[in-house]
Amino acid sequence: MFKEMYENDSLTGLLSYSSFQKAVSFYTETDPKGMEEGKYAMLCFNILRFKVINDLFGSDGGDELLIYVANQIRRLGGENCLASRTHSDHFCLFIPLTDDSLPARLDTFTDTIENCAPDFEVICHVGIYVTNRSDVRTDGMIARALLACSFVKEAVDKRYTFYNTSMRTQLLQEQEIINNMAKALEEEHFKVYYQPQYNHITGQLVGAEALVRWLHPTRGLISPALFIPVLEKNNFIMKLDLYVFEKTCALLRRMLDEGVTPIPLSVNVSRLDILYPDLPEKMEKIRQKYQVPVKWLRVEITESAMLDGIEKLTLFIARMHALGFNIEMDDFGSGYSSLNMLKNLDLDTLKLDMRLLSDDGSDKNNGAVILTGLVRIAKWLGLPIIGEGVEHKEQADFLASIGCSYVQGFLYSRALPEEEFYSLIRSQKKGDIQPPMQLIENMNSAQFWNPMSIETLIFNNYVGGAAVMEYRAGRLDLVRINKKFIRELGETLTEEDVLRWQPFDHMDEENKQIFLDAANRAIQTDSEQECETWSRIPGQEHPICVRVSMRMIANSTDNVMFYILIRNITEKKKAQWDMARREKLFRAASEQVNIYYWEYDVKTKEMTPCFRCIRDLGLPPLLQNYPQSAIDHNVIPPEAAEKYRLLHRSIDAGLAQAEVVIPLTLERIPFRVRYTTEFDENGNPVRAYGSAVPAKE
Ligand code: C2E
Ligand code: MG
Ligand code: MG
């Protein structure tokens, strides 16, 4: 009905903004009751990253998209709608609400827009103000719809939000923050607190994080969680971050001046600061002003900084590194791109947030497993990890058990005001944060883990069973195994069975000690060590005996990595046992029939006597230069000596069987001495088995 009276936007054919205003005011004036009762809605639309679309597809492409969106908005609005393009890529729509189909129509609208281009995801956010008063003019309605639009979160599926009054309250609060922040900075209402970081194992203070608070003259202490996001929207954040950095430098200067040994202090740098290329130089200037050695300063960046492009972040880190600053990754693991980031960024420390562990009520809470994996990855990258937000001793113990001993959180301390923190520093025993896992000389972890490297090739195809094993806090974990390792343990096992196998859970104390002794020797001597231990394999009836050779390949303060080679020697052990058992039986039998027996080695002239020979005749376990040594021992009486020598010469010459009577034992009882000779494949005598029984005749 307005078509003839109003002007249109030449590109999209929608109403011009002034026409739109006029048309909407027609309703506000003619139907104030309907306005109060929520019979109308104002919608505002914002196409995200429209500039990029213009860049990529040119202004023709951009225009085409605007026309498309305008048509979809018209379809969404239906017959009696008023629609306008307010400026560039911003649209608004005023509609009567006749039923409750709007959310469903909005879902269709946003889906259609999202799928309109085959190679590019177009996202359009929508804010909706459902009228609730008659005195709000068009601008006021649009302002409310726009406010709602700014509350649509980027990461969430729903692309639209309905306005509510708390948004306005929040906006007013934000405005208050904006109005006051410059003054607050000038009048030093921002205070820097410091939250200490501890080594949970030694109890030593190893560092602290500078955290800002706003000490508002009337509202009291305001949390950074409230004002940092506002300052970030406002570009004021860099000023604040540099202020915190300066205060931190000043505190370190004070420590150095007063002879107090400092600890490294970390400062937070907002994702938006990184967009400013001169930030590193600005920080360096402040550091120099206070003459603080750079080793006492660290910079925390967040994963979200990746959202603005990895190039800027990489450049920032490189410049900070060139100036000597350490870079810590804050809230590691909370973002979606954590692992990708690790691959691409040159970091010095990771901060893992305990929120990863928080129970979200789901059955499948994999937080602890993920945390364990992250810690292990960090260790192999040689990155120390600090656990953040640690509130309970159990959490800290758990972290230490998976190899992360540095913690920050309420368990140890809240963030402290400067003076309190200063006294703490003065009184505390201090330690350092150590890089966790260091491969021994000549080993390169990148190569070691690279699937294409020669190291991996050798490992996988090694003739025997090989594994990489980690030992920490009384636990053994197999980190990597080759196929033959599994085969050595048992054909029925799968790789998962073996990797999950905890050898110590299936060993008795004695075997555990044998293993630990060998491991300790390997660490102390930095050489290969061996041991043989019995353990049980889940699902197998009998225990197995494994000979393990181990060599340390990496270590840190709290754990050690070994390269191990294994042989399953259960069968061999059983055979030895069998032999020993038979020997025992034979020994018992020999007592019963009063027999002595021994072995004579033709080549070496060595004689190995039986247990009874040792006991009754006082022989050592091995006699050399036999039979002369026996003659010298007076086991063979002088009168029989020549006969005995002759017997052995005959054996040496190849006599297969022999028998002589010699007086033996202290009592010189006549014994029948018999020999049976064993020959090699060439017919040469090798060994002769001797026995002596009393000659009864
Ligand atoms: P963040 O950098 O991850 O800092 C750790 C936050 O966890 C701090 O909150 C700290 O007080 C809190 N926290 C520490 N231990 C525990 C604990 O055991 N349990 C719980 N529930 N929380 C704990 P805070 O001080 O409120 O700071 C919040 C965030 O504000 C910081 O998170 C950081 O992202 C930002 N922030 C703080 N100060 C600054 C600053 O100077 N500049 C910038 N850009 N951001 C800052
Ligand atoms: Mg932080
Ligand atoms: Mg954090």
Q: Is the Cβ atom of 196 under 6 angstroms away from ligand 1?
A: no
Q: Considering only residues 357 and 152, tell me which one the structure prediction assigns the higher pLDDT.
A: 152
Tell me the sheet residues that pair with 678: 687
The most confident of the ranges 45-49, 71-75, 120-124 is 71-75
Longest dimension (CA), the chain: 148
Residue 376: the pLDDT is 79
pLDDT-based confidence at residue 245 (cuts at 50, 70, 90) = very high
Ligand nearest to the CA of 194: 1
Ligand 1 lined by 392 (C-beta under 6 Å): no
In tens, the pLDDT along 553-590 reads 888 767 788 989 999 999 888 888 888 887 777 777 77
Q: Give the pLDDT band (50/70/90) at residue 482.
A: confident
Indicate whether residue 212 lines ligand 1 (CB < 6 A): yes
**Residue holding tokens 């026409």?**
19
Q: What is the pLDDT of residue 590?
A: 76
∠ CA(120), CA(126), CA(132), 5° rounding?
175
Query: Is-above-0.75 flag for pTM?
Result: no
Question: What is the per-residue pLDDT across 308-361, written as a single tens digit (0 to 9) for each?
Answer: 778 889 999 999 999 999 999 998 877 655 677 777 888 899 998 887 666 555
Is pLDDT of 362 > 60?
no
- Domains, the chain, in order of start with CATH, read 3-163 (3.30.70.270), 174-427 (3.20.20.450), 445-568 (3.30.450.20), 573-694 (3.30.450.20)
Residues 6+ apart with CB under 8 A from 150: 127
Question: Which DSSP symbol is given to 473?
Answer: T
The pLDDT value given to residue 445: 63
Q: For residue 670, is pLDDT > 60? A: yes
Q: Which ligand is nearest to the CA of 386?
A: 3
697, with CB counted inside 10 A (0-12, 13-18, 19+), is exposed
Closest approach atom of ligand 1 to CA 353: 3
pLDDT tens-digit profile of 502-533? 788 888 999 999 999 999 999 999 889 999 99
15 in Cβ contact with 84 (< 8 Å): yes
Q: How far is CA 630 from CA 158, 613, 619, in A?
A: 99, 11, 8
Lowest mean pLDDT among 377-391, 410-424, 452-466, 660-674: 452-466
Q: pLDDT tens for residues 397-415? A: 888 877 788 999 999 999 9
633 alpha carbon – ligand 1 mean position (Å): 86
SS3 176: helix
How many angstroms separate the alpha carbon of residue 383 from the centre of ligand 2? 17
The mean predicted confidence, pLDDT, of the chain is 87
CA-nearest residue for atom 12, ligand 1, is 389
Q: Report how far ligand 1's centroid is from the alpha carbon of 150 (Å).
A: 24
Which structure tokens are listed for 359?
Answer: 């129970």
Q: How far is the CA of 408 from the centre of ligand 3 (A)?
A: 10
Chain centre to alpha carbon of residue 284: 32
Q: Tell how many helices (H) and how many strands (E) occur in the chain.
A: 23, 26
Q: Is the pLDDT of residue 265 over 60?
A: yes
Q: What is the mean pLDDT of residues 122-129?
A: 93
pLDDT in tens, 423-462: 999 998 888 877 666 666 666 666 776 777 777 777 777 7
The number of the ligand nearest the C-alpha atom of 193 reads 1
